[in-house]
Structure 1
Amino acid sequence: MTRLFTKLGAWGAVLPLLGYCAIALGFPVWAILWEGLHQTNPTTQQTTVTFANLTASWHGIYLTGLLTSLRLSLLSSVISAVVGLFAAYAISQSRGRYFKQAVLTASGVLANFGGIPLAFCFIATIGTGGVFLSWIQNVWPSFSLETFSGVALVYPYFLVPLMVLTTLPALDGLREQWKEASANLGGTSRQYWRHVGGPLLLPAALGGFVLCFGSAFAAYATAKALTSGTVPLVTTQIANILSGNVIAGEDNLGMALAFNTIIICGLMMAVYLPLRKRSAKWLES
């Protein structure tokens, strides 16, 4: 076995990883696509290959749920990306080593603090009435935790720490010598960030945005606990179908909806990876 890996060279080193990805990622994707392309007749119980599930997933209430999920993910990701990027920059400029470690530890915990516990915290704090809710409604009269705006307010709680964890290594990778060289050549701070720092941080910022978008798009329990399903999201629709709340003959429609989410995430990663590869050589040099 060792000789085999030696002969394969670099491919031998990544062969176990490729095998793991094929089993853990490739096979589930293929299974989802396979089920999404099949439909069982409720009368004859005959299974046929068809595009009806994929077609139905792009129409009616399912299209509404997909568009609502995209809007929610985009809004919460933009907010989290902007706030998280500035927060990460402030942390990177801190001279306190223990403070930075404490913030990173807290960010790692809060980035995974989603689901029902997060929804309960906001319901207990704001709820359907009270001082906090009245303060918010003075500025935002239509605000409620049970609406689209309420979910959009809650999601950045775990997305901002995720953005901090993603962009902080890139900010630490910016060398002080580059800024000094720009100043020696007569460049201003604005020119430095426009021509040097900004382009180098752009892939990391886009990567953080992609991760935030994916986390928001895939989140289920938080939105379900807050809205009880009143806000149409693709994740709640998939859960309803898998739990049996579906019209006869549409059992595999949830697989088609899941395949749509895979396509969307794949398209975003296809945009991010070339940009990340372009700047990696500068941050790692």
Structure 2
Amino acid sequence: MKWLGLTPFALYVLVFLAVPTVLAIATGFVDADGTFTLENLAHLGDPVVLGSFWSSIWVSGLTAIIGAVLGALLCVALAGSKPGGVLRRVIDAASSVLAQFGGVMLAFAFIATIGIQGLVTVLLRDALGIDMYADGVWLYQLPGLILPYLYFQVPLMVIVFLPAMEGLRREWAEAAATLGGSSFTYWRRIAGPVLAPSFLGSLLLLFANAFSSYATAAALISQGAQIVPLQIRGALIAETGASRANTAGALALGMIVVMVVVMAAYSLLQRRAARWQR
């Protein structure tokens, strides 16, 4: 009867995750009259849709790689700090907060800071003669998503990768030093291979996090639908009616396929990494 304790969580998953996902996918297989059709899936081959998928993939991949590298370096620096110390508690608390700080508030923070009339923009222009927007209004276009996404990608990397760093045993480094191995040898032959599955798994998690982000992009990019979530928004609010809404279901199916592949790979890497964390 222990499984009864999972009933509230199971109901939550069913009502707020499973049912909306099934409904979203189902709308991609019906037309405006509710008749089954595969015509909506043809929109996935549209050059504009393929371009939005590519844009989502490269923005998510770039921010995931940069966020993973910066977050891993921060974890390496934190590994030498005292567990439970002030520095560790401050970093953990800050990472937990900043990893969840997204959406409209994050977009507003960047607009107020480095927007066209942002504090830093005006200061650089008036004091140093540096015009951040001399080559175009980049913040409100696709490249402008990179900095806001990194704002929550790096803290997320710290949260998910720091436990792997803490799993490294001091005895391994001492054994390597006793056998005449250098610090570089230790990281290349021992720590690196042990941390590789956790690092790659965290990288995939960051990719999935950026790929599914919507609110920040929607607040910054008001014109066009350069990534898939904005394509879905455009389909849902289009004036052409239910046919476009059904196209949104097909786009959602495409996103779900990408996410399933990424999370399946993440699960495999996590199981491999768990061998060294026991």
Counterpart residue type for residue 33 of structure 1 = I
The equivalent residue for 2:92 is: 104
Q: How does 1:31-110 map to 2 (within 5 A)?
A: 31-40=23-32, 45=33, 47-95=34-82, 97-110=85-98
The equivalent residue for 1:176 is: 170
Long gaps (5+) in structure 1: 6-11
The equivalent residue for 1:29 is: 21
The equivalent residue for 1:256 is: 250
CA shift at 1:13, angstroms? 8.2
CA contact (8 A) 2:205 2:263 kept: no
- In structure 2, relative to structure 1, the CA distance for the partners of 1:115 and 1:78 (3 Å cut) is same
1:121 aligns with 2:113: no
Report the number of matched residues: 269
The whole-number CA distance in structure 2 between the counterparts of 1:245 and 1:180 is 67
CA contact (8 A) 1:143 1:149 kept: no
The whole-number CA distance in structure 1 between the counterparts of 2:36 and 2:222 is 34
Deviations 1:29-88 (A, max 9, x none): 332222211112xxxx3x322221122023132222111111111111111111111011
- In structure 2, relative to structure 1, the CA distance for the partners of 1:230 and 1:240 (3 Å cut) is closer
The equivalent residue for 1:8 is: none
CA contact (8 A) 2:164 2:195 kept: yes
CA contact (8 A) 1:200 1:283 kept: no
Residue 167 (structure 1) aligned to one of 158, 161, 165: 161
Counterpart residue type for residue 186 of structure 1 = G
- In structure 2, relative to structure 1, the CA distance for the partners of 1:192 and 1:135 (3 Å cut) is farther
The whole-number CA distance in structure 1 between the counterparts of 2:178 and 2:131 is 48
Deviations 1:4-39 (A, max 9, x none): x6xxxxxx5897566765555443333222221111
Residue 267 (structure 2) aligned to one of 256, 270, 273: 273
- In structure 2, relative to structure 1, the CA distance for the partners of 1:266 and 1:14 (3 Å cut) is farther
CA shift at 1:108, angstroms? 0.5
The whole-number CA distance in structure 2 between the counterparts of 1:223 and 1:109 is 20
CA shift at 1:179, angstroms? 0.9
Q: How does 1:131-142 map to 2 (within 5 A)?
A: 131-132=123-124, 135=130, 137=132, 141=135
Counterpart residue type for residue 28 of structure 2 = G
CA shift at 1:164, angstroms? 0.6
CA shift at 1:257, angstroms? 0.8
The whole-number CA distance in structure 1 between the counterparts of 2:155 and 2:13 is 27
Long gaps (5+) in structure 2: none
The whole-number CA distance in structure 1 between the counterparts of 2:10 and 2:185 is 43
What TM-score comes out, normalization by structure 2 length? 0.86
CA contact (8 A) 1:69 1:217 kept: yes
- In structure 2, relative to structure 1, the CA distance for the partners of 1:147 and 1:20 (3 Å cut) is closer
What TM-score comes out, normalization by structure 1 length? 0.84
The whole-number CA distance in structure 2 between the counterparts of 1:83 and 1:136 is 27
